[in-house]
A and B are shown apart, each in its own frame.
Chain A
């Protein structure tokens, strides 16, 4: 099992460029998440998905779009990158349960720099 993988690991963009970050999980999890990590601010949820074909906004969704066309993949898009989007991006997944909140499994992260 690869767990949660993210592509690419590093990327440098110029202001106004677009890109897509890919997250894939092989654990058959229903739930998937995109976070950004910035110094002193912990992890903040950008968007999440509770199943294939569904997406929802998190705490900081502006400037990002997402898609979940397949259960195992969750894509994060930046249509017009801005320097404020320089960050480390983490994808995570977890299985659904009516009995409570389950462990989230994280990918290794993507370090994005916007010049």
Chain B
């Protein structure tokens, strides 16, 4: 079946450090891939997405590239800020499944210190 695996957290970085959060997936067919972010006390919100191989999603300085050959969708940011502290979820969806269902990874908590 389809699944998503993320690197374990928490990840603690200093402000302006480089961020990578690893995400790998197992899927049949050609899934779409997503990164969602959850700030403390809130629901999830879409950060970026990619719908086909070699697509790069980007938003708010974050980037992720859909790598079919390595089944990965790693999240990166060149210089993190304290306001980026949150939990990040990688997710996938088979575009042909009914109802647009998503499968989420377990989440990676990021803490950025000033």
Report which A residues bind B (CB closer than 8 A).
4, 31, 33, 40-45, 48-50, 56, 58, 90, 92, 94, 96-97, 100-109
A42, A50, A103, A107: the one contacting B43 at CB < 8 Å is A107
CA distance A56 to B41 in the complex (A): 28
The interface residues of chain B lying within 8 Å CB-to-CB of A100 are 32, 51, 95
Asked if B77 is an interface residue, CB under 8 A from chain A, the answer is no
In contact, B44 and A101 (Cβ under 8 angstroms): no
In contact, A90 and B43 (Cβ under 8 angstroms): yes
B32, B49, B51, B100: the one contacting A94 at CB < 8 Å is B100
CA distance A41 to B8 in the complex (A): 11
Report which B residues bind A (CB closer than 8 A).
4, 32, 41-46, 49, 51, 89, 93-95, 98-102, 104-107
Distance of A27 from chain B, by nearest CB (Å): 14
The interface residues of chain A lying within 8 Å CB-to-CB of B45 are 105-106
Distance of B34 from chain A, by nearest CB (Å): 8
User: Which interface residue of A40, A49, A58, A103 has the most chain B CB atoms within 10 A?
Assistant: A103
In contact, B89 and A42 (Cβ under 8 angstroms): yes
In contact, A31 and B100 (Cβ under 8 angstroms): yes
Further pairs besides A56-B99, A101-B32: 8, Cβ < 8 Å: A33-B101, A42-B106, A43-B104, A48-B99, A56-B98, A58-B101, A92-B43, A103-B46
